[in-house]
Chain A
Amino acid sequence: KAGVTQTPRYLIKTRGQQVTLSCSPISGHRSVSWYQQTPGQGLQFLFEYFSETQRNKGNFPGRFSGRQFSNSRSEMNVSTLELGDSALYLCASSLLENEQYFGPGTRLTVT
């Protein structure tokens, strides 16, 4: 079974731009969660989607949004990028509330 894939793996953007990251879950997994990891704050929960519905949301500003498609693939979008958004963005898929399988992450650098 193929693992969780994330694209792109690396991204450099300028302040004020927007970015869209993509996550393809393991086949059969309908739950996708997104996380942000920074050296200062560690891992933080962004959102969780299940069957195209946002099931839970972390404490991030409205510039961070996401969605899930009918094939369970998910995207997250960050608008009006700030320097502090530079981070590793990880997605994980699972059967609902079970063990999470993480993707390799997208490393975003905002300059």
Chain B
Amino acid sequence: KNEVEQSPQNLTAQEGEFITINCSYSVGISALHWLQQHPGGGIVSLFMLSSGKKKHGRLIATINIQEKHSSLHITASHPRDSAVYICAGRSYNTDKLIFGTGTRLQVFP
């Protein structure tokens, strides 16, 4: 069992839909990162959070420390949101980033 798990693995949506990607972790973490990777490989850091909720434009990230769960929400999705979304936890014990396997999102016009 991976220490950081994401669901779903693949997600398709119509433009304008509300999207949720989930991330669960089984280890103690000091921070949770959400990353976006477009075809071609470039990775962009979307959020780093250790509690509560953060919002940036149409993106919202939440984390529940007690339940060891984080969600990434995209409101009013757009085809340019099509990418792989990866969550990663920084382990308390090792201080290393542990990555989920990613969620491939495709948004169709």
Segment 89-111 of A: residues with Cβ below 8 Å from B: 90, 92, 97-102, 104-105, 107
Prevailing SS type, chain B contact patch: strand
Prevailing SS type, chain A contact patch: strand
Instruction: Give the number of A-B contacts (CB < 8 Å).
Output: 49
Whether B41 is near chain A, meaning CB under 8 Å from some CB there, is yes
Number of A interface residues, CB 8 Å?
23
Whether B76 is near chain A, meaning CB under 8 Å from some CB there, is no
List of B residues within 8 angstroms of A56 by Cβ? 94-96
Name the one of B31, B41, B44, B96 contacting A88, with C-beta atoms under 8 angstroms.
B41
Docked Cα-Cα span, A58 to B91, in Å, equals 12
Segment 52-111 of A: residues with Cβ below 8 Å from B: 55-56, 58, 88, 90, 92, 97-102, 104-105, 107
Closest 3 CB pairs of A and B: A102-B43, A43-B99, A105-B41
Binding site for A on B (CB under 8 A): 30-31, 33, 35, 41-45, 48, 86, 88, 90, 94-102
